[in-house]
Amino acid sequence: MEYGLRANLGQVLQQLLQVLLVGMTIGMMRNVVPALAETEFGVPRGSFMLLAAFVVAFGFIKGAMNFVAGRLAERLGRRRVLLVGWLVALPIPALVYFASSWNWIVLATVLLGVNQGLTWSMTQTAKLDLTRADQRGLVIGLNEFAGYVGVAIAGVVTGYAASLLGPREGLFWFGAVVIGLATLLAWLTIAETLPWAHAEVERHAAAPTAQALRPRYPIGVSGYPTTGEMFALMSWRDRRMAALCQAGLVEKFVDALVWAFWPVFLHQQGVSLPGIGWIVGVYGFTWGGAQFFTGRLSDRVGRHRLNVWGMWVCGAGVAVWPLGSGSAWWSGAAAVVGLGMAMLYPNLSAAVADIAHPNWRASAIGIYRFWRDLGYGIGGLGLGAAAALGGRIESAFWFVAIAMGLSGWVLYRWGEETHPRLNPKR
């Protein structure tokens, strides 16, 4: 079996199309739904905790499914898990269309969490199976580039669709086309990549001393660790993995804020739905587009500095957002936040992949993604409570900015460079 982007270009491109559609599926829920929560779905004005409820539900469900997806992928294969993820998403457009209360939106978001946990995890894991160790930053950067460009495109398109067709009709037709196309393509075009992972294990066992790259794998881990062993390793036993997991969790506070409160904040300032789509889209396009470069950059200069500074840049962008007004100011702040996310997002995952053995890489990525996407739930509760206690939506911005600063410091102190070329095992 051949490894590398060039050798597996056709399948990598199919996987990138899948993750673009994954991003568009979550993106359909990130502009119109929160902006019209009061007028269309009956959420009382100022009910910050209720408004955050759908993001909280999404975070806890997606986090759990990331954990499950990693283990399932090692038993059932990547392709089957991907297909199940798309089948779960099929009812989402109808639930939004027929929603008689906010509870229907929360239910749709629960299904969305299952879909995202299974599908996004598998697109990333499958591409890591196919490519070389020295391409991981680039590969994850490409994966997240496609996904978050999809999020941004969906935010803009659904804003116009809601204005032209009505919010429910616009979301229904957009979601039905995206989810239906993704399911069909997953069935017809996606190959199973688990054999590549098995072949990599055999290659490591056959010539361990001949590897050009010597990763700093955690010591004292069995060849095929149990779920309990893996959870302990990732969550506290290996300090590097724990640092990466806590950073992943806290950075999702930012995306919870963007999803739940940015559209509401802008709607209250009188910005139209298409205008909200474009301002929030600046964040998504910057995040997605810059990852194309930041992932590759980490393959050359390392992950650690980009991850730490990404946390701090992102927190600074959140802090300045409510200090000014006007589309230019908000778009500029959104670009800073997106740049910070691009610096850290692919490279936290790449750092986990650097020091995760092929035997249990899918599980390690799944547990990292469990903690990371749990940040939607914990962050949603935190920013809802901050806004409620402060009596204004801006309090949520300060909560997130402070959390990002502190988390970046923990990552700086506990983490280390993981790239096997720049910091190899001695």
CA distances from 408 to 178, 258, 314 (A): 36, 19, 10
> Closest Cα partner for 380 from 58, 111, 104, 120?
58
Query: What single letter denotes the amino acid at residue 381?
Result: L
| Cα atoms in the Cβ-side hemisphere of radius 13 Å centred on 303 | 30
Length of the chain counted residue by residue:
426
End-to-end CA gap in the chain: 29
Q: How far apart are CA 143 and CA 127, in angstroms?
A: 8
User: What is the model's pLDDT at position 240?
Assistant: 96
- CA 266-54-123 angle, 5° bins: 95
Place of tokens 């393959």: 299
Interval 190-227: pLDDT, tens = 999 888 878 877 776 665 544 556 888 888 887 788 88
CA 12 – CA 196 distance, rounded (Å): 13
pTM of the shown model: 0.84
Alpha carbons 231 and 252: distance in angstroms, whole number: 20
What is the token pair recorded at 66? 């990331």
16-194+235-414: CATH topology = Growth Hormone; Chain: A; (1.20.1250)
Nearest CA to 337 among 262, 228, 418? 262
How many C-alpha atoms does 304 have within 13 Å on its Cβ side?
17
Question: Residues near 8 by Cβ (< 8 Å), separated by ≥ 6?
Answer: 2, 130, 131
Domain boundaries, the chain: 16-194+235-414
- Alpha-carbon torsion (256, 259, 263, 268), positive or negative: negative
The answer to whether 421 and 213 are in contact (CB under 8 A) is yes
Query: Residue ranges of the alpha helices (H) in 166-211?
Result: 167-189, 194-206
pLDDT of residue 205: 62
> Rounded mean pLDDT of the chain?
90
pLDDT at position 209 = 42
Q: What is the pLDDT of residue 207?
A: 59
Check residue 208 and give its pLDDT: 55
**Could you read off the pLDDT tens digit of each residue along the chain, which spans 426 residues?**
788 888 889 999 999 999 999 999 999 998 888 888 878 888 887 788 888 888 999 999 988 888 788 778 878 889 999 999 999 999 999 999 999 988 999 999 999 999 998 998 888 888 888 888 778 778 888 888 899 899 999 999 999 999 999 999 999 999 999 999 999 999 999 999 888 878 877 776 665 544 556 888 888 887 788 889 999 999 999 999 999 999 999 999 999 999 989 998 999 899 998 999 999 999 989 998 898 788 889 989 999 999 999 999 999 999 999 999 999 999 999 999 999 999 999 899 889 989 998 788 878 988 998 999 899 999 999 999 999 999 899 999 999 999 999 999 999 999 999 998 888 887
Instruction: Give residues with Cβ within 8 angstroms of 107, minimum separation 6.
Output: 95
Cα 89 from Cα 404, distance rounded (Å)? 32
